[in-house]
Every structure is written in structure tokens, then in C-alpha cells.
Structure 1
Amino acid sequence: MNHVLYPLCAAAAWTAFLYKFRGRRRQPDNPAITAVWVAFLLLALVFTVSVPAVWEGLDRSVGVPNLSTLLSQGCVVGFSASIQAMLLFWVHPRDQAVARIRWRLLAVAGALVVMAVLFATTAPAVERSTDFVVWYAANPYYAVYLVFYVSAFAVGLCDTARIGWHYAREAPRPWLRRGLRLTAAGAATGLGYCAVRIANILGPVLGVDTRRWEALAPLCASAGALLVIVGLTVPAWGHRITALAGLAGRYLAHRRLAPLWRAVALRSSPEVVLDPPAVRALEWLRVRDLDFRLYRRVIEIRDGRLALRPHLDARVAAAADRLGREAGLSGDGLLAVVEAARLAAAVRAKARGSPADDGATDDDGASAEPAGAEPHGAESHGVEPGGADLCAEITWLVRVSRAYRRSPVVRAVLTER
């Protein structure tokens, strides 16, 4: 597992380190950015050194067996302290954050000194790149070393989870809130690694073989690290996900309006269509000017509906309302079905050249729309590209288009008429 998870986490951490390096160059005096940059550097070193091939090669080059253990675990403690520092700089003014960080750094420095002394006392001569902790857990000096290491790391993780989760409720930006929660979740996941290491300490004392649980240590460490990496970087790039989701939603809306647009505008009133059919046939491949094309599709549907006003029949609306209620429809769903039935009947009547019967014409042209929607064409009631009114208009017309294409009530009304 170490051969796969640790290289993956090392690559992710080095990528995050380089990504944050740009931010540090732009804001060299921002302590929070510096802290997270240092944290990613330490995390990248942790997983790079922990890769078995790197572990063994480093020990051979230095000539000290298992020195990689001290280096990687020391970086883990430093990483935990750096994350705490970053969160404190986010949460508190600079002077208060420095005061809170100072004692944490002193505690971390003391723990690192004790760990170095105990590691030297342990004198681990047998090279163990994949199961070092399990192999040396019975050594009393290493057991004490492990207590200091796990304690320093666990305290840092708990502090990170507490600060991150608490501040997420107050964060002003959505992706900052998500990032803080992911960071807190990553810290909590890392506590699983600490639990396994505590079991390694207690196992020899209780006569329990802890090898069966060892696979959980790299799994929790790797999963926690990846969550922290994503959590600390997502505030900078998460808005792109939002933008992509919005683009996908607009693309789907554009496609879902196609049945209604083809019937009401392209076939029934082609004069309202801006682009010729040959251009429109390939437009699903283009996303560059999607906002404009979606806006135009709404406009053309509304203009096509205006051209159908002489053929809108109030009796069709009454029949659709009756059949829709019998089918259990209500609210906006019923209104959309009624409007779709009226348009479908009007399109058919116009194609036959027959207006609605005398006295049945919907002279005011009002559509069966939700309360607050305007009854006329998009151009006439001030729908603007990208505005809230346009979003409501798109939502409504997508409902109508879906009913136009799929509703059995619409088909039943046309058959009845």
C-alpha cells in the first residue's frame, strides 16, 4: 500500500506546494499564505521520504539506518503546526494569531528535540522501510518516542479540526466554508492514523499483534492528507467548479428548450429566428457564446408565441386544465401542461391556416404561467441576459418544453380537439 498511496500523496502535495508558491510570490507579507505554503512543503517531504524506495536510498546515502523515520515524522509534526498557524491567521488578527502560535511552536520544538534524543537512544540498526513502527514498537525507548510523536501530532489534528469546523460557520465565501470543512474532515481522518500508532504502543504491553491493523495507518494518513490538500486549495479554484456547473446547467436548458423552440419559432414562425437552420443544426457543439444563444432561444420562443396569439384557444386551456387535474397535476406542473397544450394546438391550427373559433380566441395572449411571470414576449417585458428574470423565464419555459414533448395530457387534448 505504501508503494501506491505515498507516491500519489507526494505528487498531490508537491502540486499544491507549487500552486501556492504563486500566491506567496504575489503576497509575500501574508502570513497565512506563507504558513500553508510551508505546510504543503512539509507534507510533500513526509510522503516523498515515506516512499520505500526513497526511504532506503536516503538512509544509504546518509549512512544512518531508518533516519527517514525521524525526518518524515518530524515533518508531520511541523506540518500539523503549520496548518494550525494558517488557521489562526485566518481566524484572528495578526497580533493575536502570533501570540497563540508562539506557544504552539515552542511545544512543537520541544517535542522534536525529545523525539531526536529518543530516536538516537533507540539506535534502530535494522532497516525497515514498510513496517518500522510495528518492528520497533516493543523497544521501550522507541515506545516513549512514539508517545511524544503521536501526542504532538494528535493535538495538532484536534486543534485543526476544531478551528476549521468552527470558523467554517462564519466564513464569508461558500468555497472557503467548504474548504475549511474538508480540512477539518481531513484532520479528523488523520486521527485514525494516530489511533493505529497508539495501538502499536499498547500492543506489546497487552500481548496483542497489531500487524492486522497496520494497513489502516497509511490509509488514514493518505486519505486525511488528500482531504487537507483539497480543503486548503479549493477556496482558490472552487469557483471554477461553480462556473462549470452553471455552464452545464445553461447548456442543458438550451437543449431542453429545443422541442418548444423548433415548434413555436423555427417551424411555425421562422421569421423570428436570428440564425438560419443550417447554423442552428451545429450549435450544440458550441459553448463559447452559449449565454447569448440561450437568451436568443428564449426571445425567439416568446416572439413565436406572440405570432400564435390569433390561434390560441381558451377552450384548449380549459380542456388541458380539466385533464391535468384528473391526472393529479397541480401547481406549476399543471400550469406548464396547460400552456404546452395551448401552444401545441395553436401551432397545429396555424399550420392548417385555421384560427381559433369565434369567441374562443385568447385575445389578451396571457399564458398560464406562475404568479409573477409576464404574459408577453421576452423583449417586451425587459428580460435581460444573465438577470434573475431570465433565470425564472428559462425555468418556466423548460417546464413547458418538457410538457410539450412528453405530457400525455397534451396529446390527449390534441386528440380531443
Structure 2
Amino acid sequence: MLAFLLGAVLLLALVRMTHQIARAPHDRPLRAVTYCIVCASLSFPMGLRSVADNVDGMVGAGTAKLIQNILLLGTVYWLMCFYLQSASDPRTGRRRARIELIPLAITAVVITAATLATPRSERGHVYATANMQVASIAVFYLAAGTYLAYALAMALRWTLRYIQVSRGSLVVGLRLVAVSLACMVGADALRGVLVVVRAFDGTVPAAVITGVKLLLDLAIPLFVVGVIYPGAASRMASLRLRWRHQRTHRRLTPLWVALNQAFPENALHRAPSDGWRSRLTPQGLHHRYYRRVIECRDGLVRLSPYLAQLKEAGPVEHLPPGVIADHLNRALKAYTAGAQAPSGVVAIALPQGDDLDDDVCQLVLLSDALRASRPAD
């Protein structure tokens, strides 16, 4: 079950990062994260028994395990590169990334040599059942585990630094990453200790080995979730804003229709539109939303001289929307009939604050009251 969960999370992250890198191909930190996810995604199938058996059958025993571990080394290397590219200028970041290639290459060579030095009958091992008294097997796990712990510890240190200067959804994502990295560092360190104990013919309870594996199995998808969380949270916020604008646009329809019929020249026909594409994209929806708000407010400004009778009902800001809607209907009829506008103006649906949301809120209340006053429409 955990394997399928990890695979699904990695696939989702890979799709997300591929989309982002296509939009910003020259963003080095983003490329590093993308390569990190690619390496993790490629290593995942190598851990599946069916895939490993096929690869080992075609190339040789132990090949799938070697490839999986080299890809894991690449995963943490690119994770370090993300921080190196983010925390320094491009030239320094590239230089430090090249330096970090040295321990990566050494570790890859060591585990490859260890695999080749391992008898074929022992190459099909997994960590829980491997014979650590075979020197090459112990070297394999110690070398790979040491590099993983080093790279993950460096990434954890930088992650904790970034948490202090980040805000919003990015902080949540970084905290998830920090927790997962801490778990992985602890698990790798413990696995190294257990390798040494088993190499000297020590006994390790099976429950301890299973617990360490479970910790890693949970930490890896948690790390991927932390990486994609800020982008996913931003997308969710965008969807909520789109839904709110769509709902508000619909609720403004009664007011907009009434004012547009009276003042058709207020329509913003000069605004560019891509037809059906504009209707399907978020930008098109937001454009129609702001256009409707502006046209409603412009219509009320032009109609304001015909609302003089509202002064007789008391302070306009204290009148309920239903009363204002009744007067608005009368004012529209008077304007349509060509009646002379009284002197002075009366502003209605004035916002209580200074931002656009307050203005829209008053327009929506008036539009709702107008709909209620025209049940037959």
C-alpha cells in the first residue's frame, strides 16, 4: 500500500514539476528540484520485485539494486544543488555543485565496485536479509548510507534556515520537508550503525529493521508532499478566488442587466476578448468579473441624479438594500421615460471600506435585493 502511495505522489510531483520547468526552463533551482523528482521517480520502479527481477535477468544479478541506489544518490545530490543554487549567485552555485559531484562520484564508484565484488549468489540481497559479514555488502550499504546521510543533513540544515525567513504556504511545505529530512537522516544513521553491528555478527531484532524501513517509507512521500505543497496551495487559492469571482459575477447579473439596458453605452466593448478561450481561462473569468463591477458602478453613477427621492427616506447609508432597490426601479423607469433629472445626486451602495471587496459587497447586496423585488424576471 505504501509503495502505491509513494508511486502516486511521485507521479503527481513529476507532472507538476515538468509543467513548471516547461514554463521556466532557465530557472536553475527549479531545474534542480525537477531533476531530484525525476531521479526519485526512476528509482521507485527499481525497488519493485517484478521490475528488479526483469532487470537482473537481462543484465545481471544486483543490477536493479545498484541502479536504484545510484538514482537515490542522484536524488539527494540534486536536492543539495537546489539549495546551492538558491543560496548563492549562479557562478558560486555552479562551482559548489561541481565540487559536490566529487563525493557523489566516489560513492557511486564504491558501491559499483562493491556490487561487482559481491558473489552472484549474494547480489539479490535486500537490507533486511543481506549478509553483512560479506565485506563488499557491508561496504555497499555503509558507503551509500553515509553519502545519503551527509547530503540529507546538509539539506536539512538549509531547510531550517529557509523556514526562518519564509511565510505562508512555503513555511508549511518547508516544515514538512524538514520533518521528512530529519526522519531520513536519523534512519540512515541508524541503518549504518546496524550494518556495523551485523558485520561483526551482532544480532539485530527484526522489529528494529522493519521500523527503520517504515520510517523511510513514510518520510519519502512526506518529503515529496512538502515539495509540491506550496504550489498546490497556491493553485487551490487561485481556484477559490476563481469560484468566488464566478459566483459574484452571477449574483451581480440582475443589477448589471438593469443598468446595461438603461446605459448600453457603458459596456466596455473595447476590452479585448478571445471568445471561447476567454470563457475557459481564469484570466477571462477575472476580466469579466472586473468588467461587470465597473459597469455596475458606472451605471449607478449615471443614475444617481434620479435617486433624489431617497433623501426623503433618511440617510442613504442606513437604508436597507430592499428600500434602495425599490427606489432604483423607480429611477430606472424615470430615466427610461425621459423624465427630467432632479438637481443634485445621491450615491448608493457605497463601500464601508477602501478596498474593492467592500465595494463589490455593497453591489452584490443591492443586486440581490433587486432580484427579490422582481420575482417575475
Please indicate the TM-score interval, normalised by the length of the shorter structure: 0.5 to 0.7
Q: Which residue of structure 2 aligns with residue 291 of structure 1?
A: 287
Counterpart-to-counterpart distance in 1, 2:145 and 2:123: 22
TM-superposed CA distance for 1:80, in Å, is 1.0
Cα deviation code 1:262-316 (max 9, x no counterpart):
7xx62x994236799xxxxxxxx95646624652454336525526513314535
Matched, 1:151 2:146: yes
Residues 163/193 of structure 1: CA separation in 2 closer, same or farther (3 Å cut): closer
Q: Which amino acid aligns with 1:8?
A: A
Q: Which amino acid aligns with 2:67?
A: L
Cα deviation code 1:316-347 (max 9, x no counterpart):
548xxxxxxxxxxxxxxxx5x74525413524
Residues 36/193 of structure 1: CA separation in 2 closer, same or farther (3 Å cut): closer
TM-score (norm 1): 0.62
CA contact (8 A) 2:11 2:41 kept: yes
Q: Which residue of structure 2 aligns with residue 394 of structure 1?
A: 360
Task: Say which of 369, 375, 389 aligns to 2:350.
Answer: 369
Task: Say which of 324, 331, 346 aligns to 2:327.
Answer: 346
Matched, 1:220 2:226: no
CA contact (8 A) 1:180 1:231 kept: no
Matched, 1:47 2:13: no
Q: Which amino acid aligns with 1:224?
A: F
Task: Say which of 127, 130, 149 aligns to 1:136.
Answer: 130
Q: Which residue of structure 2 aligns with residue 89 of structure 1?
A: 85
DSSP-derived class of the 1:136 partner: coil
CA contact (8 A) 1:150 1:194 kept: no
CA contact (8 A) 1:9 1:225 kept: yes
Q: How many positions carry a matched residue from both structures? A: 343
User: For residues 12-411 of structure 1, what are the structure 2 equivalents within 5 Å?
Assistant: 12=12, 15=15, 19=19, 22=22, 27=26, 32=29, 35-36=32-33, 38-64=35-61, 66-120=62-116, 123=119, 125=121, 132-136=126-130, 139=133, 141=135, 142-143=137-138, 145-164=140-159, 166-167=161-162, 182=173, 185-186=176-177, 188-200=179-191, 202=194, 205=202, 207-210=204-207, 212-213=210-211, 214-228=213-227, 230=228, 234=231, 244-258=239-253, 261=255, 266=258, 270-272=261-263, 288=284, 291-292=287-288, 294-300=290-296, 303-304=299-300, 306=304, 308-317=306-315, 338=319, 340-347=321-328, 364-367=345-348, 369-370=350-351, 393-398=359-364, 401=367
Residues 117/401 of structure 1: CA separation in 2 closer, same or farther (3 Å cut): same
Q: Which amino acid aligns with 2:104?
A: V
Q: Which residue of structure 2 aligns with residue 378 of structure 1?
A: none
Counterpart-to-counterpart distance in 1, 2:47 and 2:139: 21
Q: Which amino acid aligns with 2:221?
A: S
DSSP-derived class of the 1:134 partner: coil
Counterpart-to-counterpart distance in 2, 1:362 and 1:154: 80
CA contact (8 A) 2:349 2:363 kept: no
CA contact (8 A) 2:325 2:369 kept: no
CA contact (8 A) 2:42 2:71 kept: yes
Unmatched 5+ stretches in structure 2:
268-277, 335-341
Residues 137/349 of structure 1: CA separation in 2 closer, same or farther (3 Å cut): farther
Cα deviation code 1:367-405 (max 9, x no counterpart):
4734676xxxxxxxxxxxxxxx75553244235556888
Q: Which amino acid aligns with 2:321?
A: A
Counterpart-to-counterpart distance in 1, 2:332 and 2:13: 64
Unmatched 5+ stretches in structure 1:
277-284, 319-334, 354-360, 374-388, 411-417
Counterpart-to-counterpart distance in 1, 2:364 and 2:53: 62
**162-171 or 79-88: bigger deviation:** 162-171
Q: Which amino acid aligns with 1:78?
A: G
Residues 184/111 of structure 1: CA separation in 2 closer, same or farther (3 Å cut): farther
Counterpart-to-counterpart distance in 1, 2:248 and 2:133: 66
